[in-house]
């Protein structure tokens, strides 16, 4: 049944990309004539078809502005994930189930809430540590190829799991950033208002290597692939008042309609689309710093 769950998630990821809607997780898949869903009202979820007390999925709630998460998960100094107990009783049956998953080396699915109704799924993950003092389990992501057909772990390789967990965290941050930014801009390019999600990127205002270049919505712009490339190349700049400028030498070029309508025509105009919520709008200080880089170029 767990293999079938992994195969279903792989199919859904090909359909939706890295971020899956809750509806797909709730709808689930057919197994032995029964419908198996992958998410429930609680963070530690075991579908009825599983007669053991071991969960199929663990879920982290999405962050909602102005509201604390019911459980705040984190990354430990070893680079592995920490998942909070259900409640404060280590003997709670759901916590006991995860402890059994650890001792029996049973693979699970980790669902990370990105925004309400949207999740990034990581599988297989294993419970590899238990700390009643901090009320947390340690979770490692592993390579699906490490599983045999009988779900026994082929080789328990801590270095491999550390690497896979690090890669999974990077993918999670990238997917979350893209989803939140594009959702904030209502699936439009901020410059030209193009609405095709598959042609949109989440562009960083301050780049990854910058001390303030975090993957957060105020440091992002939803841009079509053309305008994202132009923004990164310093061909267009965006002022803190959201006015677009085109680099002078490009503005003076004479070429075809693509240059004229796709780039030069936006000179001096304001961004066509901005997030509705003020908290999601581009940080003016970030824009000012990036604009100075554009001007210096």
Quick check: 76 pLDDT over 60? Answer: yes
The 10s digit of each residue's pLDDT in 115-159 is 999 999 999 999 999 999 999 999 999 988 877 555 455 556 888
3-state secondary structure 25-93: HHHCEEECCEEECCCCCCCEECCCCCCCCCCCEEEECCCECCECCCCCCEECCCCCEEEECCCCCCCCH
206: left (phi over 0), alpha (psi -120 to 50) or beta: beta
* β-strands 136-141, 118-131 pairing: antiparallel
Determine the Cα–Cα distance for residues 213 and 156; give it in Å rounded to an integer: 36
Give the pLDDT confidence score for residue 297 in this predicted structure.
81
How far, in Å, are 36, 67, 114, 214 from residue 64 at the CA level? 28, 5, 9, 18
The 10s digit of each residue's pLDDT in 187-200 is 999 999 999 999 99
Q: pLDDT band for 260, please (50, 70, 90 cuts).
A: confident
The 10s digit of each residue's pLDDT in 33-57 is 999 999 999 899 999 888 888 999 9
Determine the Cα–Cα distance for residues 202 and 188; give it in Å rounded to an integer: 11
- Overall CATH class of domain 2-181: mainly beta
Average per-residue pLDDT for the chain: 90
Determine the Cα–Cα distance for residues 82 and 68; give it in Å rounded to an integer: 17
Q: pTM of the predicted model, to two decimals?
A: 0.83
- Domains of the chain, residue spans: 2-181, 187-296
Give the pLDDT confidence score for residue 155 in this predicted structure.
58
Quick check: 262 pLDDT over 80? Answer: yes
Quick check: 293 pLDDT over 90? Answer: yes
């Amino acid at each position: 049944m767990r293999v079938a769950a992994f195969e279903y998630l792989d199919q859904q990821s090909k359909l939706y990309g890295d971020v899956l809607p809750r509806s797909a997780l709730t709808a689930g898949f057919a197994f032995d004539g029964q419908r198996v869903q992958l998410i429930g009202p609680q963070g530690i979820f075991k579908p009825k078809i599983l007669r053991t007390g071991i969960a199929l999925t663990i879920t982290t709630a999405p962050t909602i502005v102005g509201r604390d998460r019911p459980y705040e998960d984190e990354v430990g100094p070893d680079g592995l994930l920490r998942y909070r107990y259900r409640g404060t009783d280590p003997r709670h049956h759901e916590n006991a189930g995860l402890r059994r998953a650890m001792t029996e080396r049973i693979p699970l699915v980790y669902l990370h809430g990105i925004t309400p109704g949207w999740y990034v799924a990581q599988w297989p993950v294993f419970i590899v540590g238990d700390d009643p003092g901090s009320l947390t389990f340690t979770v490692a992501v592993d390579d699906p190829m490490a599983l045999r057909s009988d779900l026994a772990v082929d080789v328990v390789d801590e270095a491999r799991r550390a690497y896979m967990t690090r890669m999974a965290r990077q993918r999670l941050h990238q997917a979350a950033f893209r989803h939140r930014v594009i959702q904030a801009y209502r699936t439009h390019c901020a410059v030209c208002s193009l609405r095709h999600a598959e042609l949109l990127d989440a562009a960083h205002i301050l780049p990854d290597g910058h001390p303030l270049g975090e993957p957060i919505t105020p440091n992002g712009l939803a841009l079509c692939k053309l305008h994202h490339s132009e923004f990164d190349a310093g061909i267009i700049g965006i002022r803190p008042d959201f006015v677009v400028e085109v680099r002078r030498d490009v503005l003076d070029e004479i070429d075809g309609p693509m240059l004229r309508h796709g780039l030069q025509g936006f000179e001096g105009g304001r961004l066509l689309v901005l997030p509705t919520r003020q908290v999601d709008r581009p940080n003016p200080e970030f824009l000012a710093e990036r604009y100075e880089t554009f001007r210096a170029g």
